[in-house]
Amino acid sequence: MNHITEEKILYHALHNGSFTLQSCDYIGHTQTCIDNLLKCKFLTWETNSLWSDYKHNDSSEYYDIAFHQYKITETGEVRLAIYRLAYAHKNHRDTSKHVKRMEQLTKVLKQYSLDIDNFKKNCTKNEVKAINYYKENYNKTVDIEEAKAVGDTLKQAIHPVFSTEKIQSKNSHLNDIDFGDAVLNNMFQMSSMLGEKGYDKSRTWDYVLRKINEELGEMTLEMNVADGLSYKEAGKDGVKGEAVDLAICAMDMFALECPGMSADEIEREFLTYMNIKLAKWRKSIQ
């Protein structure tokens, strides 16, 4: 499972409250990542009684079925914020996305009264560069809450990095997506342009779920037509086309759960989840 990274592990631990892992899955690259996070105290670890049974009875049967629960620590939240800041620093420097990542880092540092310099020893060169840029161009300028209170005009006057992109209507730039390229990223570009959850009435769980149900119904109808169970004529795309429509709506639901993430980040997140799910499916059908 080489697609697993320490960043992804911390992300899932934070946004799901915790995550569990069975002992038999605690192997290879996943084990290496978790061990390092535990060593750095970015995760905490708890286990059930079966682990104690294994240790006392030296039985691999107990070991294989024991479950371990992992939770992110306060320092782990800061480390995750650094991961995300470094990505924005490298790919979206001085944009509103970069500013948002700096705000998130500042918020968690203030929340737990932690010093960013204490984390540099665990960082890559790119992450250290991102931290230094953050300290030089953002952290020393003005308190974030004060800046928000006086508005974007003052922010821009204090330092150009505070300038924010003008909010545009959801339909603008949709034509910029190149559908000539057969890439999954197109889907998440469109989701990002439509807006995050809560942007308007169409960007809610309820609305997207209704669209999922609509497409499921249309796919069912195409199946009934194909089986001679409906008087209606088949659509030009058939079951295959409706299956794609259903997948698009389902992936849009996934994108709703990725606030503040770019299309590239959502795609990475989706593929990570997909590979984890595929591994489970493979195991269940063998």
The residue-averaged pLDDT of 123-129 equals 93
Q: Please check whether residue 36 is in contact with residue 7, taking contact to mean a CB–CB distance below 8 angstroms.
A: no
Q: Model confidence over 102-122: pLDDT tens digits?
A: 989 999 999 999 999 999 998
Q: Is the pLDDT of residue 96 over 50?
A: yes
pTM for the whole structure: 0.53
Length of the chain: 286
**Cβ-based neighbour number of residue 21 at 10 Å:** 18
Predicted confidence (pLDDT) at residue 68 exceeds the cutoff of 70: yes
148-182 pLDDT, tens digit each: 443 444 334 333 343 334 334 444 456 666 666 66
Provide the 8-state DSSP code for 136: I
User: What's the rounded Cα separation, in Å, for the pair 65 and 24?
Assistant: 7
Is the pLDDT reported for residue 264 higher than 60? Answer: yes
Q: Are 255 and 205 in contact (CB under 8 A)?
A: no
Task: Give 195-250 pLDDT, tens digit per residue.
Answer: 888 888 889 999 999 999 999 999 999 999 999 998 888 888 899 999 999 999 99
CB atoms within 10 A of CB 127: 20
Residue 56's contacts (CB-CB under 8 Å, 6 or more residues apart) are none
The predicted pLDDT at position 1 comes to 44
| Integer Cα distance of 79 and 123 in angstroms | 9
pLDDT average, residue stretch 30-40? 93
Helix then strand count (H, E) for the chain reads 13, 3
Find, among 92, 67, 71, the residue nearest to 80 by Cα: 71
